[in-house]
Amino acid sequence: MRSALFACILTGALSAAAGAQTPRPLPTGAPFFTFNATPPPAAEDPKVVFAIKQEFARFQLGRVDRTLYTRELDAVLTPEKVAAFAKQVGPLGDPIRFVWRSTFAQGPDIGYQYAITCEHGSLLMTYVLAPGGKEDGVLFAAP
C-alpha cells in the first residue's frame, strides 16, 4: 500500500519563494516551483545521479550525512524525521532504476527530479542543490 506522500523537506530558496519566514514542508498537490529565466542544465549530470543514489540509500538506512546539507536543511531534517523517512522508503527494497525526469532552476538553486523504481514500489525524488554544492532540499513523493 502506497501513501500519497513519503516525505517532504524543502528549504532555502524554495520556502523563501513561497513567502515562508522559516523552512517548512510544502503541501502535496500544490505547484511547488516557480521557474525563473535562467535555463537549467538540459541533460542529466552523472555526478548528480551518483549523489542522488547515495542520498536515497542513506535515507533508506536512516543514516544521513549532515555535512552535505545547508544549515537550513540540517535544522529542518530532525533525527525523528530521518527515522520516519527510513520506515517509509526502507521497505521499498533495493533500487532497480533511476530515471531522470527534469532539472529546474529555483532562484540560485538547481533541482533535479528522478523517478525511482525499487523491488517493492516506486517514488519520485526531488533533490535540490544550493550554489555552493550543498543539498538544500529533498522531496520524496508517490509517482
Inside any domain, residue 67: yes
Of 127, 130, 132, 133, give the one whose Cα is nearest residue 141: 127
Full strand arrangement of the beta sheet holding 109-118: 5-10, 135-141, 121-129, 109-118, 95-106
CA distance 57 to 104: 23
Reduced to 3 states, what is the DSSP secondary structure of residue 75?
helix
The count of structural domains within the chain is 1
CATH of the domain at 53: 3.10.450.590
Query: Residue 48: inside a domain, yes or no?
Result: yes
Q: What is the pLDDT of residue 43?
A: 73
60-103 confidence digits (pLDDT tens): 999 999 999 999 999 999 999 999 999 999 999 999 999 999 99
Structural domain including 105 reads 5-18+44-141
Does 128 reside within a domain?
yes
**Residue 37, in any domain of the structure:** no
- The answer to the question of residue 110 being in a domain is yes
User: Is the model's pLDDT at 32 over the cut of 90?
Assistant: no
pLDDT, tens only, 6-19: 444 444 433 433 43
Structural contact between residues 102 and 113, judged by C-beta atoms closer than 8 angstroms: yes
* pLDDT score for 20: 37
Q: How far apart are CA 111 and CA 106, in angstroms?
A: 7
pTM for the model? 0.72
